[in-house]
Amino acid sequence: MTDVLEVRRAGPLTTVQDLGRPGYAHLGVPRSGALDPAALALANRLVGNPVSAAGLEITLTGCELRPTRAVTVAVTGADADVRVGPRPGDVGRPLAVPAGAVLRIGPARDGLRNWLAVSGGIAVEPVLGSRATDTLSGLGPPPVRDGDRLPLGPWPGPPPPVDVTVGRPPTGELRLTLRPGPRADWFTPDALDRLLGTPYTVSPVGDRVGARLTGAPLPRAVAGELPSEGIVLGAVQVPADGQPLVFLADHPTTGGYPVIGVVDDVSALAQARPGTTVRFHGPQR
């Protein structure tokens, strides 16, 4: 009988994620994968898995799980209470969970998401070489639900000894490096000055596809419409309302609104709660 991770409480959006499925954009398939790949990779290293192993990405309110075999787990990302049965645990440390014990991950106290690795990895069937849930295209397993039984891979051996890990600092004001996009000339010079010179705020309307921002609208110099063209991770697209949208892991591969710039590294947005201040700056020379 296959060993499984029983889901007693899934939370509002818990998904299976690994490092995604790069290399298929020409087929209309986005990369997907963990919104903060480094956080998932760290969790995997803490339990002795390859960094490419699939784990869980848990959003805001935590979850409750029970393995049918003894496992080592690690939780990274936002600060949260972690308990193995009655015993408290730590974010960023390997934790032994006996067979049948309940693992509880509490709500995020700062930030928005946690990543959970389990020794052996989550062994759902891969699609195009990845076990990642893509919430836009529907590729990969569906979002995790109460009562699911997630298969576990073979035990990888004992985890490495760990004294301390260094996580990301709590999310405050974010500074994102922006490079000019392919349609920067579709905007007025004032638009780029606004984007680089004024703060924006993370909107409550956002998900794994993109982070919507609110702030000074970005005026267009060209009033026409574009045919759909390629979109990459970190693209800053500007819809008709002039408010920027930063594309994240489950972004579409094409889009018709002009892209004013591209963010170098969007992983910090994985922990950006609504109301977080975002400032853009150009690359350092």
What is the CB-side half-sphere exposure of residue 147 using CA atoms within 13 A?
0
pTM for this predicted structure: 0.94
Tens of pLDDT along 151-206? 999 998 888 787 667 666 556 799 999 999 999 999 999 999 999 999 999 999 98
Question: What pLDDT shows up at residue 158?
Answer: 84
> What mean pLDDT value characterizes the chain?
94
CA distances (Å), 210 to each of 3, 158, 165, 166, 245, in order?
A: 35, 38, 29, 27, 6
Average pLDDT over residues 97-117: 96
**Which amino acid is located at 126 in the chain?**
P
For 257-266, write each residue's pLDDT tens digit. 999 999 999 9
Residue found by looking up tokens 């005026």 in the block:
219
| Complete domains list, the chain, with CATH | 4-151 (no CATH), 174-281 (2.40.100.10)
Residue 225 has a pLDDT of: 83
